[in-house]
Amino acid sequence: MGQVQNTGQSENDEKELELSAIQNLYKKFIEECPSGSLHLHEFKKIFGVTSDSSAESLYMDNIFRSFDLNQDNTLDFVEYVAMLHLVFRGKLEDKLRWSFKVFDKDENGRLDRSEVRSIVRIIHRIKQGTVSDEREKNTLTPEQVCNRIFDLIDVNKDGQITLEEFLEGAERDEWVRKFLTLEVNPSNWVIERQKLKNGMN
């Protein structure tokens, strides 16, 4: 009987911790975004992106759009939490589904070559041209990366990639999986903010 009580108590403790974490997150969100909405320029600032023409800025535009579920050009707290959850705790399939949304600029559920090429060029610029093949012996151009993605995952060769092909291709091929699993890492911003706050104290 004592074990059942302990289990119930630990579940309650866990729920209280989660609630406390959400409350703290909300408090921080409101401190940063008093309006209750995170705009694109604020989102870019979080990740330390300042230039509107840089590869990183273009990448952030696509990422922001993919998290803006109601398409109102802002992220509310729920969308913000969904983003953080995906970044820090998301499963591979969830990250791949999200990556597909980033690639799918026209949101028609299929990726054509121009959509894939656009993101590949941005990633290529961010990585300063160091995208290589699976053996990491040959550096690939954006066009070669795009062709490789289509060769490996466009199963029916119709020139478009469906979500199903995208997921299956990433499951089949490690190089594809690594390239298609887009990463967003706000840790540098968090560290810098913490340093600033500690410096003020």
Whole-number pLDDT of residue 51: 67
The span from the CA of 133 to the CA of 166, in Å, is 18
Whole-number pLDDT of residue 153: 94
The answer to whether residues 119 and 113 touch, using CB atoms and an 8 Å cutoff, is no
The span from the CA of 124 to the CA of 145, in Å, is 9
The span from the CA of 115 to the CA of 5, in Å, is 55
Closest CA to 179 of 153, 145, 129, 137: 145
pTM of the model: 0.66
The span from the CA of 94 to the CA of 182, in Å, is 11
Which residues of the chain fall short of a pLDDT of 50? 1, 186-193
Whole-number pLDDT of residue 193: 44
The span from the CA of 161 to the CA of 152, in Å, is 11
Three-state DSSP at 68 gives coil
What is the CB neighbour count within 10 angstroms for residue 104?
A: 22
Tokens standing for residue 35: 């309006």
